[in-house]
Amino acid sequence: MANEDTLEGTSIADTANTRIPGGGDIWVLIGGDFIVFTLIFTTYTYYWQLDPAVFYKSSTLLVTDIGFANTLLLLTGSWLVATAMRYFRSGQLERAGLFMGLASLTGVVFLANKAVEWTHLFAAGNSVNSNDYFMFFFMLTGIHGLHVVIGTGVLIYFYSRLSNSTAVTPSHQALEGGALFWHLVDILWIVLFALLYLIS
């Protein structure tokens, strides 16, 4: 049976096409999340087709720059986590911790942006009851925001463990699982940004 520790310092290419990233269990969560979000994305698009004028008018009330900034933040967060994993595999734990910490900051700033956006929308009189567009907007960005909160918390935990030389280092599989979840959050936002801010 392969010991997790033997993966540290091993290049990904050495285990090409045989190893499931993060182990099999995390993919039940990730696969389930992808399926649920696909159902919500398609339901949103179906309702958009039924009333494109209201969806267009409502989407113009959003500030594209905020969605754009949040997209760049999550892409940067994904890159920082991928870099952290490279450092971890090469045994540079403190540097891996630093990059996990920086990635968690992208989650914090994302949530701050989202709070500002929601506050402005509520202040302008929009709510989940306004119309179908805003019902979907607040529901989708709310569920996604919850994912960002969880992912950010996991990254902060990794940062605290990897930066403290006396703390127990998380396993390679645990780190990969957390990293995969963070990339899932990024992927879901890429779809949300295109659907809610750009094409509607």
Partner 1 sequence: MHRETIIWLGLMLATVVSTYAVDGALGQALPTLETAILTSTLLIAFVKIRFVAYEFMEIRTAPLFLRLATDVWIIATCGALLLLAPGTYSI
Q: In angstroms, what is the minimal distance from the CB of 174 to partner 1?
A: 15
Read off the tokens for 75: 């892409």
User: In the range 171-190, which residues lie near partner 1 by CB under 8 A?
Assistant: 179-180, 183-184, 186-187, 190
Per CB under 8 A, does 92 bind partner 1? no
Per CB under 8 A, does 164 bind partner 1? no
Q: Which amino acid is at 128?
A: V
- Per the CB < 8 A criterion, the answer to whether 117 and 66 are in contact is yes
- Per the CB < 8 A criterion, the answer to whether 89 and 171 are in contact is no
User: In the range 116-135, which residues lie near partner 1 by CB under 8 A?
Assistant: none
Q: Which amino acid is at 199?
A: I
Read off the tokens for 58: 């409502």
- Per the CB < 8 A criterion, the answer to whether 78 and 200 are in contact is no
Q: Which of 163, 143, 159 is nearest to 106 (CA)?
A: 159
Judged by CB under 8 A, the residue of 115, 124, 128, 199 near partner 1 is 199
| CB atoms inside a 10 Å sphere around CB 146 | 11
d(CA 175, CA 178): 5
Per CB under 8 A, does 75 bind partner 1? yes
How many residues are recorded in the chain? 200
* Span near partner 1 by CB under 8 A; candidates 2-10, 63-71, 101-109, 117-125: 63-71
Interface map 6-45 toward partner 1 (x if CB under 8 A) = ------xx-xxxxxxx-----x---x--x---x--xx--x
* Span near partner 1 by CB under 8 A; candidates 76-84, 130-138, 139-147, 165-173: 76-84
| Interaxial angle between packed helices 52-59 and 132-163, expressed in degrees from 0 to 180 and rounded to the nearest 10 | 50
User: 78 or 104, CB closer to partner 1?
Assistant: 78
Contact residues for partner 1, defined by CB under 8 A: 12-13, 15-21, 27, 31, 34, 38, 41-42, 45-46, 48-49, 52, 64, 68, 71-72, 75-76, 78-79, 81-83, 86, 179-180, 183-184, 186-187, 190-191, 193-195, 198-199
